[in-house]
């Protein structure tokens, strides 16, 4: 498979962003992530779309899903410009999954499985390098360079309270999507509780096997 079309699923904090970066460079595909796209457009005026709030920010700060119309348009645009891709953060509910089916075929559907207690720990300890976008963790994956350590930032929604709400939204809306792919018999499950390198071994092998 020259340029695989990969869907990576999992709860918030499961390691999708971490593994997607590796997939993108190893398989030379585009990393399409709705979370990053929305964070870059948090103040976008969506009032025309008949939504409850006028910008994505209000939804994101509360840990709620941004309306389907907004994210569907982002993904449709990004996928139309990519041959191969790793799609991360979408679909997050059954309606988005139906949209995705209209947009493209997939070569691999992966799920990173991680228990809830570990998810909370990963999310509240997550830190980002604003200059490179690199993902760190205060305990599991701190940067070696003191200069990088100094400039690390925490996402506004990685607080204990918002994390709880995001996990509730995940259980209610996104888990049924994962179950749906599982029932179709296309889901490849990877144990996401392993160390990052071990997860990567499994992820890489799963994509190669699908070729």
Applying CB under 6 A, the residues found at the interface with ligand ADP are: 10, 12-18, 34-35, 38, 59-60, 63-66, 71, 89-90, 92, 96, 122, 125-126, 135-137, 140-141, 157, 166, 195-196, 199
Query: How far, CA to CA in Å, does 117 sit from each of 14, 135, 160?
Result: 11, 20, 12
CB 96 to ligand ADP: min, Å:
6
d(CA 119, CA 51): 30
Minimum CB distance to ligand ADP, residue 175 (Å): 13
Between strands 126-128 and 135-137, the pairing is: antiparallel
Nearer to ligand ADP, 175 or 211 (CB): 175
Tell me whether residue 57 is one of the annotated catalytic residues: no
Q: Does the annotation mark 149 as catalytic?
A: no
Residue 166 falls in the annotated catalytic set: yes
Q: Which is nearer to ligand ADP, 84 or 125 (CB)?
A: 125
- Answer yes or no: 175 catalytic: no
Indicate if the alpha-carbon torsion angle 76, 66, 116, 162 is positive or negative.
Answer: positive
Nearest Cα to Cα of residue 37 among 11, 63, 56: 56
Cβ-based nearer residue to ligand ADP, 118 or 182: 118
Least distance from ligand ADP to the Cβ atom of residue 78, Å: 12
Strand order in 5-10's β-sheet? 30-33, 85-88, 5-10, 108-113, 187-191
Q: Which residue, 1 or 115, is less far from ligand ADP as judged by CB? A: 115
Smallest separation (angstroms) from ligand ADP to the CB of 80:
17
Query: Which of these is catalytic: 155, 164, 189, 204?
Result: 155
What six digits make up the tokens of 21? 């970066």
- At its nearest, how many Å lie between ligand ADP and the CB of residue 126? 3
For 46, the 3-state DSSP assignment is: coil
Active site residue 126: yes
The SS3 of residue 65 is: coil
From 5, 122, 127, 166, the catalytic residue:
166
Residues 6+ apart with CB under 8 A from 27: 3, 4, 6, 84, 86, 207
Of the two residues 107 and 129, which places its CB atom closer to ligand ADP in the complex?
129
Residues noted as catalytic:
16, 92, 126, 155, 166
């Amino acid at each position: 498979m020259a340029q695989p079309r990969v869907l990576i699923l999992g709860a918030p904090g499961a390691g999708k962003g971490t593994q997607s970066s590796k997939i993108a460079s190893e398989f030379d595909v585009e990393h399409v992530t709705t979370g990053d796209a929305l964070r870059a457009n948090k103040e976008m005026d969506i009032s025309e779309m008949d939504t409850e709030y006028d910008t994505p920010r209000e939804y994101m700060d509360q840990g709620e899903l941004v309306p389907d119309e907004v994210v569907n348009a982002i993904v449709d645009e990004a996928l139309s410009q990519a041959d191969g891709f790793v799609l991360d953060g979408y679909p997050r509910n059954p309606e988005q999954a139906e949209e995705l089916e209209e947009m493209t075929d997939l070569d691999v559907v992966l799920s990173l499985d991680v228990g809830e207690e570990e998810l909370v720990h990963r999310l509240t300890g997550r830190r980002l390098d604003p200059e490179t976008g690199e993902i760190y963790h205060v305990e599991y994956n701190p940067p070696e360079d003191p200069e990088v350590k100094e400039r690390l930032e925490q996402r506004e929604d990685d607080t204990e309270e918002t994390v709880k709400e995001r996990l509730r939204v995940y259980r209610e809306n996104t888990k049924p999507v994962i179950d749906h792919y599982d029932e179709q018999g296309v889901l490849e499950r990877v144990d996401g509780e392993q160390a990052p390198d071990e997860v990567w071994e499994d992820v890489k092998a799963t994509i190669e096997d699908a070729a």
